[in-house]
């Protein structure tokens, strides 16, 4: 049952990602204007969202909330409805072009509740804060990402800009009324980098691309298609590419879908439409293109560099060949020198052109990146060699040495390093790639009659699924969309989404998640979330957003990057000058100088080596690559971490506050004992209190109602007496009139508040229940206590072991609950927790968090209910149990999707391992530079004669970035603590 609850929680993940972006990128063919020869941009219909908040009288329980939510979901143009039972409010996000707030209010009242409009905020999300995601080419180190961030944040209307070096993407929160995404792209390009739009706008918008034959024939065809699509409700934007026979459509999936578009286009009679073939434009395609590009550059550089290397370092020692290379062309200019010049020039200026471009753009904006170091180092070697070559051509006695092999080999090794780096960086996002690949290619669409009988089946591309479609899932097939089961029974393997290996039973009415695998039976499902709204898409966006966010520790690398390159340039020139001055003053013996060099050339080599061995890239990649892999690994194990901030805070946690009901306990309370104090039958007693409690959302109320079903005949469709004047008293109980009797069900405090005397035998029953870790509920009928109901909520399996493991990790555990002191202390004692706070209101829980923080603790809060939300927000790290409420999940920093307590340990341990890896990465990156720069400067040369040639220094520099990325990739081998595996070995299974 709990695993089924965990499944339901995934439908709530959509609330977590409400600020993420939608869609896939259109690579380099982004539209710039309207109705150009290249493309037509039409429609342009606003995707404005309005927010309306209603006060709802009488909404006191989950059934009533569910009825309102179901009624609102059926309305066209409703994007999202969030119900706040605590404050009796409903927040609705909707499209004003399709529905108005009066219709929404009337719908709530038709369900049976009094609704009052509190406020309306038109265009709340789209005008105030849209999120634009952009892919950026050309970044080499944190100096580049900082430059772009500064350029974007300087634009009026940009609220926040994050640029991630590892993912090569920017996420920009901006006001679309003030700044357009084209301006954002232009700002990035003005900063010297290539910008490709990935997505813009709102996660409620989906995007589809269709191939339409005949678009390039005439403007009349385009116009017909344009008008036809514009007539569809829910279409937001249409971009037509006549040359490619392509139509890109942005739409609201709640209101329309791709099959409608195809039908409308084909109804014009002049065109045939189909889904556009999957091709370039996605993240993986771009990364593969980058890998291929570096690979080609490296191969071409080898073609020229290998002969340069052979002629300068190998062939000159082979008799016969060396004589040919020494043949003088003009004066002292030899064949070998001329050959090396001709071969190294294409490497320097054609293959190495990207370094010049990057350096120029960086310097133009007043910053210096890795490209500046490469250009300075290779230019120094190349142009000094050209000087030597020209002087040899004009002199009959000059014996100069060229360094053409240094410049060409430097560029070759750097290209090799970049190739290996992008190859490794691709693997850091494997988790996202695997999640995106879970969706099946095809689906079986069912046509049902009014009675639910199958009339026909049709195999379609899964991208054509629309909301409310009926889909058939055969055994062994992947579930094609989020939805609920219409017919059939089966077991579904959800491990690819939740990390939970055991299949989950599914029957009519149960939720299923797109991308999971149907194990045995046939299922008919109705699609409820498609495209960008699916749980899988939301999880992917959550992980992507987490990987975009910078951990606070990243500020360390960002601050160093501002001064790193200028400092290295200064050290390089100082090294050259020191060795050159020492040579001029004859401060070292002539024997130190290699026979083929002069003092100047020796000094020049030391200076170049210092310049090219320094590596700012390794520092910039130390944190983001580890965070990318860590969040990806967490997602694969059912632990969703919302960014670097949460990941960094979690590894410092030394105190955890646990809610009791639904967190430490199973959250499935059952009635274990009943004592009736009046002369009445148990059936009559329970029918009366069930009639009152059926209107309450509290888990204890639900357990009483379930127990009462045992006293009636129709257990599936119970008909309880009408409850009038129902009142829910938060944290205490309920009150109602049933069959002309005043029924009060609640705790001792409620009875005393209502001036109801509590007999001694009821007091004894309450004390006994508390001693046995049970919750005692008093029942009053017409002002007299009529009975006591004892309810027990069993501990989650393995709760004791989890608390014990946390103690061994030096983490303090505390229970904070709204339940009574006796039950709270008994539960705490049973699991091994010493500190207990009972009878706590939501604000008390948040205050306890703040008190602990003031005492110096780094606090994590683990909860699952609406009343836990304030504490989840106040804590340094909020952890929401996956089967909890949507509000709790939205408030949390980490979502434990499997509803397992053991995942609290997994989250903290993964965080510790990730930050241990980050520290190791920094140690390697800084240690490499601290040790490498002095060695390159020739510190060891006077004592050992060891000298680091520039090309070897370049190879070492390239290897450092690759080493850091590979170090982060080792996190992919993460395994949760063995102590958790021992729980299963001992027969304890946490669910």
- What's the pLDDT band for 838 if we cut at 50, 70, 90? confident
Q: Find the mean pLDDT for residues 777-791.
A: 90
Joined tokens for residue 275: 């889904």
Rounded to whole angstroms, the Cα distance separating 373 from 352 reads 13
Beginning with the edge strand found earlier in the chain, give each strand of the sheet holding 670-676 in spatial order: 670-676, 784-792, 775-781, 741-746, 733-738, 723-729
Contact 129, 602 (CB under 8 A): no
CATH code given to domain 468-530: 2.70.150.10
pLDDT at 633 over 80: yes
CA torsion sign for 619, 624, 627, 633 is: negative
Contact call for residues 785 and 733 (beta carbons, < 8 A): no
C-alpha 445/C-alpha 465 separation (Å) is 8
What CATH number should be reported for the domain whose range is 125-199?
3.30.70.100
**Angle of helix 902-936 versus helix 554-584 axis, rounded to 10:** 10
CB 539 within 8 A of CB 640: yes
19 pLDDT higher than 50: no
Residue 45 near residue 918, CB atoms below 8 Å: no
Query: According to the per-residue pLDDT averaged within each range, which of 112-116, 118-122, 152-156, 273-277 is highest?
Result: 152-156
Which CATH number is 670-792 given? 3.40.1110.10
**Cβ atoms within 10 A of the Cβ of 883, count?**
26
- Give pTM, 2 decimals: 0.66
Residue 245's contacts (CB-CB under 8 Å, 6 or more residues apart) are 211, 212, 213, 214, 215, 216
Please write the tens of the pLDDT for every residue from 134-182.
888 888 777 788 888 888 988 988 888 888 877 788 888 888 778 877 8
Alpha-carbon distance values, 932 to 412, 558, 602, 942, 951 (Å): 20, 21, 18, 16, 14
Q: Provide the percentage of residues in the chain whose pLDDT is more than 70.
A: 84
Q: Residue 437's pLDDT is what?
A: 72
DSSP 227-245: HHHHTSTTEEEEEEEGGGT
How, if at all, do strands 511-512 and 89-94 pair? unpaired
Catalytic positions, written as ranges: 659
Least confident of 37-41, 103-107, 125-129, 957-961: 37-41
Please name the fold of domain 50-122. Alpha-Beta Plaits (3.30.70)
DSSP 67-80: HHHHHHHTSTTEEE
Rg, C-alpha atoms of the chain: 34
**Average pLDDT, integer, range 828-849:** 85
pLDDT at 756 over 80: yes
Question: Would you state the pLDDT for residue 124?
Answer: 41
Mean pLDDT, residues 630-652: 83
pLDDT tens by residue, 681-723: 888 899 999 888 888 767 788 888 888 888 887 777 788 888 8
8 Å CB contact between 618 and 141:
no
Q: What is the β-pairing status of strands 490-493 and 517-518? A: antiparallel
Assigned token pair, 523? 């299922």
- Lowest mean pLDDT of 75-89, 112-126, 539-553, name the range: 112-126
Structure tokens at 971: 């996190």
pLDDT of residue 413: 83
Residue 389: which of 332, 441, 347 has the closest Cα? 332
pLDDT of residue 982: 64
CB 481 within 8 Å of CB 465: yes
CA atoms 545, 550, 553, 554: torsion sign: positive
Please give the span between the terminal C-alpha atoms of the chain, in angstroms, as a whole number.
Answer: 9
Biggest CA-to-CA distance, the chain: 127
User: What is the C-alpha separation between 647 and 483, in angstroms, rounded?
Assistant: 32
Q: What is the CATH number of domain 639-665+795-911?
A: 3.40.50.1000
Q: Is 663 helix (H, G, I), strand (E, B) or coil?
A: helix
Mean pLDDT of all residues in 913-925? 88
> What is the pLDDT, as a whole number, of residue 577?
92
Which overall architecture, per CATH, does domain 206-275 show? 2-Layer Sandwich (3.30)
């Amino acid at each position: 049952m709990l695993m089924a609850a965990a499944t339901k929680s995934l439908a709530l993940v959509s609330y977590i990602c409400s600020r993420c972006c939608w869609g896939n990128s259109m690579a380099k063919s982004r539209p710039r204007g309207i109705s150009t020869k290249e493309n037509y941009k039409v429609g342009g219909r606003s995707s404005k969202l309005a927010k309306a908040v209603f006060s709802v009288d009488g909404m006191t329980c989950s059934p009533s909330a569910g009825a309102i939510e179901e009624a609102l979901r059926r309305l066209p143009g409703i994007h999202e409805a969030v119900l706040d039972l605590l404050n009796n409010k409903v927040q609705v996000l909707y499209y004003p072009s399709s529905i108005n707030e009066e219709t929404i209010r009337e719908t709530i009242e038709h369900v049976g509740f009094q609704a009052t409009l509190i406020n309306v905020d038109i265009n709340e999300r789209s005008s105030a804060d849209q999120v634009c995601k952009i892919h950026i080419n050309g970044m080499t180190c944190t100096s580049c990402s900082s430059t772009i961030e500064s350029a974007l944040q300087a634009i009026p209307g940009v609220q926040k800009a994050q640029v991630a070096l590892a993912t090569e993407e920017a996420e920009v929160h901006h006001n679309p009324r003030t700044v357009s995404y084209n301006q954002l792209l232009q700002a990035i390009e003005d900063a010297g980098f290539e910008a490709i739009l990935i997505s813009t706008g709102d996660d409620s918008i989906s995007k589809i691309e269709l191939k339409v034959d005949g678009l390039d024939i005439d403007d009349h065809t385009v116009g017909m298609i344009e008008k036809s699509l514009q007539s569809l409700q829910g279409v937001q934007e249409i971009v037509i590419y006549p040359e490619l026979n392509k139509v890109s459509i942005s739409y609201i999936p709640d209101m329309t879908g791709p099959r409608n578009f195809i039908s409308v286009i084909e109804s014009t009679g002049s065109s045939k439409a189909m889904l556009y073939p999957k091709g370039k434009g996605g993240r993986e395609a771009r990364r593969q293109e980058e890998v291929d590009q570096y690979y080609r550059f490296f191969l071409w550089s080898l073609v020229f560099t290998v002969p340069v290397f052979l002629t300068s370092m190998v062939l000159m020692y082979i008799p016969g060949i060396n004589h040919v290379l020494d043949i003088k062309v003009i004066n002292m200019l030899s064949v070998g020198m001329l050959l090396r010049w001709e071969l190294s020039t294409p490497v320097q200026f054609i293959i190495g052109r990207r370094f010049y471009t990057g350096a120029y753009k960086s310097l133009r904006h007043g910053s210096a990146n890795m490209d500046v170091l490469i250009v300075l180092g290779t230019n120094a070697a190349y142009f000094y060699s050209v000087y030597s070559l020209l002087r040899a051509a004009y002199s009959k006695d000059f014996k100069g040495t060229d360094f053409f092999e240094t410049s060409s080999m430097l560029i070759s090794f750097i290209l090799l390093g970049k190739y290996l780096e992008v190859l490794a960086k691709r693997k850091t996002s494997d988790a996202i790639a695997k999640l995106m690949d879970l969706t099946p290619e095809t689906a079986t669409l069912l046509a049902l009659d009014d009675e639910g009988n199958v009339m026909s089946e049709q195999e379609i591309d899964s991208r054509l699924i629309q909301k409310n479609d009926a889909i058939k899932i055969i055994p062994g097939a992947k579930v094609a969309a989020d939805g609920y089961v219409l017919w059939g029974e089966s077991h579904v393997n959800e491990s690819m989404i939740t990390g939970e290996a055991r299949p989950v039973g599914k029957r009519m009415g149960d939720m299923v998640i797109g991308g999971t695998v149907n194990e045995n039976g046939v299922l008919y499902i109705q699609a409820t979330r498609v495209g960008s709204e699916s749980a899988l898409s939301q999880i992917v966006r959550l992980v992507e957003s987490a990987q975009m966010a910078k951990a606070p520790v990243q500020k360390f690398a960002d601050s160093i990057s501002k001064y790193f390159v200028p400092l290295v340039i200064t050290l390089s020139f100082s090294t050259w000058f020191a060795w050159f001055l020492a040579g001029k003053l004859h401060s070292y013996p002539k024997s130190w100088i290699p026979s083929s060099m002069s003092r100047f050339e020796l000094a020049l080599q030391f200076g170049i080596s210092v310049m090219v061995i320094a590596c700012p890239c390794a520092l910039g990649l130390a944190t983001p690559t580890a965070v990318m892999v860590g969040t990806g690994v967490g997602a694969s194990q059912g632990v969703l971490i919302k960014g670097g901030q949460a990941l960094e805070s979690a590894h410092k946690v030394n105190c955890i506050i646990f809610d009791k009901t639904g967190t430490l306990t199973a959250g499935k309370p059952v009635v274990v004992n009943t004592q009736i104090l009046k002369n009445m039958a148990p059936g009559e007693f329970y029918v009366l209190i069930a009639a009152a409690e059926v209107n309450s959302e509290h888990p204890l109320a639900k357990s009483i109602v379930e127990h009462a079903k045992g006293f009636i005949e129709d257990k599936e469709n119970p008909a309880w007496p009408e409850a009038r004047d129902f009142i829910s008293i938060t944290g205490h109980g309920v009150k109602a009139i049933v069959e002309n009797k005043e029924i009060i069900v609640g705790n001792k405090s409620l009875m005393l508040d209502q001036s109801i005397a509590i007999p001694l035998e009821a007091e004894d029953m309450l004390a006994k229940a508390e001693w046995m870790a049970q919750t005692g509920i008093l029942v009053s009928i017409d002002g007299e206590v009529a009975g006591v109901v004892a309810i027990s909520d069993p501990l989650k399996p393995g709760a004791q072991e989890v608390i014990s493991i946390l103690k061994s990790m030096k983490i303090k555990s505390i229970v904070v609950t709204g339940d009574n002191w006796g039950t709270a202390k008994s539960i705490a004692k049973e699991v091994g927790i010493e500190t207990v706070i009972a009878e706590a209101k939501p604000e008390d829980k948040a205050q306890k968090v703040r008190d602990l923080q003031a005492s110096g603790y780094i606090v994590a809060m683990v909860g699952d209910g609406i009343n836990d939300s304030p504490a989840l927000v106040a804590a340094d790290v909020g952890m929401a149990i996956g089967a909890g409420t949507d509000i709790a999940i939205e408030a949390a920093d980490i979502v434990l999707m499997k509803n397992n307590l053991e995942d609290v340990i997994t989250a903290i341990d993964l965080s510790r391992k990730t930050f241990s890896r980050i520290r190791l990465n920094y140690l390697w990156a800084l240690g490499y530079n601290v040790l490498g720069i002095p060695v390159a400067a020739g510190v060891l040369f006077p004592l050992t004669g060891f000298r680091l040639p520039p090309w070897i220094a370049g190879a070492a520099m390239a290897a450092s970035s690759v080493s850091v990325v590979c170090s982060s990739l080792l996190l992919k081998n993460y395994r949760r603590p063995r102590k958790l595996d021992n729980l299963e070995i001992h027969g304890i299974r946490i669910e």
